[in-house]
Amino acid sequence: MAMWNEFKKFAVRGNVIDLAVGVIIGGAFGKIVSSLVNDIIMPLVGLLLGGINFSGLSWKVGKAEVKYGAFIQTVVDFLIIAFSIFLFVKLINTLYERVKKQEEVKETAPTLTKEEELLTEIRDLLKQQRETL
């Protein structure tokens, strides 16, 4: 019974739930990136390379078939996926920095005391009187 209670404490803790959400979202994001690479980017890369598909390249050594083209295709896919994720993370970081700067500007805006407000009003009134003369 003590082990069951310990397990419940562990499973309901925030870190475990955050990790589970991260894994689920990561899996979904992986599908999005794979679709981006396979359905959008790779056809364009194929056009640029003259329609070359590396996955069919292989050689035979005796009865064994070495599929080096599939390896090359996997490496190209990895590089495109890594670059896509880099761009996405860079975009998120840029947006995060903008929001952070806006919050800092709001926080650093000086609040005037009553005395400073009165002095500012007096200054503004004196400026108006000088302009009317």
Dump pLDDT digits (tens) for 12-27. Answer: 776 777 788 888 888 8
* Statement: the pTM of the whole predicted model exceeds 0.75: no
Of the chain, the end-to-end C-alpha distance in Å amounts to 90
Assess whether pLDDT exceeds 80 at residue 110: no
CB 56 within 8 A of CB 69: yes
Name, of 51-55, 69-73, 101-105, 123-127, the range with top average pLDDT.
123-127
Dump pLDDT digits (tens) for 16-70. Answer: 777 888 888 888 888 887 888 778 887 887 787 776 677 788 899 899 999 988 8
CATH class of 2-109: mainly alpha
Q: Where are the domains of the chain?
A: 2-109
Residues near 76 by beta carbon (within 8 Å), at least 6 away in sequence: 42, 45, 54
Give the residue among 74, 90, 71 at the shortest CA–CA distance from 42.
74
Dump pLDDT digits (tens) for 70-81. Answer: 888 888 878 887
